[in-house]
Amino acid sequence: EDQVTQSPEALRLQEGESSSLNCSYTVSGLRGLFWYRQDPGKGPEFLFTLYSAGEEKEKERLKATLTKKESFLHITAPKPEDSATYLCAVQGPRGSARQLTFGSGTQLTVLP
């Protein structure tokens, strides 16, 4: 069974204080690892897709990396508007639907 574990559960940063979020996964045959941002009461907003170990992607202050067992979301010089819950999800080959299995998320708060 696919499993995704995210840490920490919650993270409070001062504006400009860089940090990393962790996503550890177990999946039989990774099709893709996805990072989403979710604001309260809203739908997950797509950030990145990573397909193979060693892959990296960047967008503004965010950078996602992937190894064979985990992924990191690095946040450089965060701003208060980066406050949100960041969800990691994996997509495996099991079944035909390729549904996502989500972690419990990291709730990030960036203080001004």
Partner 1 sequence: AAGVIQSPRHLIKEKRETATLKCYPIPRHDTVYWYQQGPGQDPQFLISFYEKMQSDKGSIPDRFSAQQFSDYHSELNMSSLELGDSALYFCASSPRLVGTQYFGPGTRLLVL
**What are 48's strand-pairing partners?**
35
Q: Which residues contact 42 (CB under 8 A, 6 or more apart)?
A: none
Distance CA 103, CA 87 (A): 6
Nearer to partner 1, 13 or 100 (CB): 100
| 49 is a contact residue toward partner 1 (CB under 8 A) | yes
Nearer to partner 1, 45 or 60 (CB): 45
Q: Which of 36, 44, 47, 25 is nearest to 92 (CA)?
A: 25
Site for partner 1 in 68-107 (CB under 8 A): 87, 91, 95-105
Nearer to partner 1, 3 or 18 (CB): 3
What is the binding site for partner 1 (CB under 8 A)?
31-32, 34, 36, 41-46, 49, 87, 91, 95-105
